[in-house]
A and B are shown apart, each in its own frame.
Chain A
């Protein structure tokens, strides 16, 4: 059995990589002495993939929003009952989630890993969907949609995506809407399944105190497909470089207004390590400008314009990229204006190399901390795997990050013309 071993002796970590004949890749990260074993089986299919060409057909198909998430719910149901009951009988905790770009099925166990892993590999490959079960699920997912509609944090971030994007499907709720899910049928679900759930489009990760050879043997035994398929043709609408709207506001029962501002980024056509480099660089610059040790943070915190809910993030995927800065504020416009002023100041004075060094050091330490948790490792792996890299590649990127590159990225991402602001506030009485 052929597999690759990569050791990171300095950090006491190793990865084993294996590829099955069907194109399925499997990554094992051994964590000796840990009690939990965490396994995931994911497909590169998420809420943004609502238009694609079904293999064998000539034209594209548009499916209702929220179908990837709906399919995730349905896969747990089997002919002989729910697969959750089988996991429960083995004492493990199954779960799944759908994001913009992936659907992930997982379990966490402290015992009977072999049996649980067989179950995971099998149920995801064997969908069983009926018209009746589709109707029933509409009720459950309807409740889930309503729960998120009431969540101001969720709404303020989706509204920012709406402000950025005129057409790109990343702006649509991952679960869809009550209206869009009402159009979902058994047939459409099966079509989506057949298109995206081929092992060539999927990855398995296992993190914990496991024997990697045994894991690869289980893959050999359980994966049904034997040959790779061709790349799936995913269709994305035309999207202009500029933002859709500069400002979006929604009224909800919140005490202090919530806000997110950020930059729409059109530099997403990057491959492999380049993505990690760009991602790290943007995040470092975000910290330099508005991180907890920055002048701007101190000034805004002292003025009572931001508080400890303030956070920042950057996302880069195959067809889009954006940053978000936000939290609670009594005056979101003032925060956005201060941010713009600060960026202009850095443009004329330049960024500080000492700050960069210090933040790079801190970022590396925080990264090491994430390696304590099997869930964090899995989550990072899945996200990066589909980009062609592993989380340990970050270690190389940390060691080779240069200040010159930081200055280039500062110009590329932090374009004031590509900013938008989303606010959720209570109605004035």
Chain B
């Protein structure tokens, strides 16, 4: 339970220009095992506080972890109903509060988020940071209880809402075709789990079991807190006192993922629904994760292949052949996967698949034009620089760095990408293996 102020910075800070401090991650405290980071920024009109709990993605806990945050969101000490919470947020100049579940590789992450207007723009004398922090900690550690356990009605309602959320996955066909491909490809691995669990798992949850699970998790799961915006000394004092008073036990150690997988044969899956357009997904094993040296070459490879309008997929499958309205490639960097997805005419399935695979062969054979290569590098540069204009995206970037145990800054990432050569891309292309083909087609 020792609080320590360590000023661990990820990069040397120059004191000559205030702009240099922007978007840099600074660890400002470690209290009770809870690590707190600050990303200074004075050009936004709002600040954010983000609290992340990390757990292993596991079939025995996935649904419980997805459910308890939505129960917490229903009420806390002082604000026991959703109406009370929303009244409070409205009073606080329309502050935004939410919680969500994210999957990063084989980690399930619970995110609590609060965004509020900076002190500069509100006429109240009170301190918006303290109010925001108190609110979040109340939500997490002082939920509205009934007989020393979760409110039964809240649990039942949120179970029902979560089931509806899972059932509604089929509504977004584009996303569904991506998720199904990955889930089928990794059905024997933790990555194949949907981060909100299954209907059956949710139905079996009892209120007392959920409460016990919640109590254990919030006192043992690794926690990271990211605050964007400027903090003054009294804010840091408030932080220290608030985090000090939380009950924490020995922190749980999390597992690493098994990434390497060599594909002996390609699997095929198909689903049929009442649809007009077919959705084709191709799942690949890259066997390269974000903490490996050739990850940067993989980023460039993915960009050339399917990372935008300049890419081989867009130019050949959409523009030249007119086969798809959307077609792109995307990486899952923690698990070493890549997916190519497109919305096509059902009868063009095989033709499109051949044309897509041809683009991969082109890269393997070294057929990368200067235009394709340079545009990709420029596009990645623009993407990294653009990220800095969004507080949430910067937080997400640094959270991912912590999870993959890399210590890149945005500038560092940029430099490594700029050093990638065409040959590096060709070398990396040889590691990519097609694992699974998935097609969402019509019932007719």
Contact = CB atoms under 8 A, between A and B. Distances in A.
Nearest to B41: A33
A204 to B, nearest CB: 21
A153 interface: yes
Contacts of A237: none
B330 to A, nearest CB: 16
B167 A140 contact: no
Interface in B298-343: 308-310, 318-319, 322-326, 343
A368 interface: yes
A365 B94 contact: yes
Interface string B136-176: 00000000000000000100010011001001101111100
B277 A150 contact: yes
A109 B390 CA distance: 15
Contact of A362 (B46, B94, B345): B94
B324 A85 contact: no
B147 to A, nearest CB: 19
B276 A150 contact: yes
B55 to A, nearest CB: 23
A3 interface: no
Given A89-B371, A372-B44, A292 B82 contact: yes
B43 interface: yes
A149 to B, nearest CB: 5
Contacts of A256: 164, 167-168
Nearest to A152: B171
Nearest to B92: A365
A302 B86 contact: no
Contacts of B174: 147
Chain B interface size range: 35 or more
Contacts of B401: none
Given A31-B43, A255-B171, A373 B378 contact: no
Contacts of A125: none
B247 interface: no
Contacts of A84: 309-310
Nearest to B378: A91
Interface in B24-52: 43-46
Interface string B97-134: 00000000000000000010100011000000000000
B45 A369 contact: yes
A284 B86 CA distance: 15
Nearest to A358: B90
Contact of B157 (A91, A137, A293, A302): A302
B200 to A, nearest CB: 15
Contact of B385 (A36, A141, A292, A328): A36
A371 interface: yes
Contacts of B388: 35
The 10 closest A-B CB pairs, nearest first, are A91-B378, A365-B93, A255-B167, A365-B94, A362-B94, A88-B310, A110-B385, A139-B322, A362-B90, A293-B86
16 contacts: A11-B121, A34-B43, A88-B309, A91-B381, A147-B343, A291-B86, A293-B86, A293-B87, A304-B161, A328-B164, A365-B95, A365-B117, A368-B121, A369-B45, A372-B44, A372-B46
Interface of B: 19, 22, 43-46, 81-83, 86-87, 89-96, 115, 117, 121-122, 153, 157, 160-161, 164, 167-168, 170-174, 273-277, 308-310, 318-319, 322-326, 343-345, 371, 374-375, 378-379, 381-382, 385-386, 388-391
Interface of A: 10-12, 31-36, 82, 84-85, 87-94, 108-111, 136-137, 139-144, 146-147, 149-153, 252-256, 258, 291-295, 297-298, 301-302, 304, 307-309, 328, 358-359, 361-366, 368-369, 371-374
Given A91-B382, A150-B277, A254-B170, 11 more contacts: A89-B371, A93-B379, A108-B382, A139-B323, A146-B277, A149-B277, A298-B83, A358-B91, A361-B90, A364-B93, A368-B93
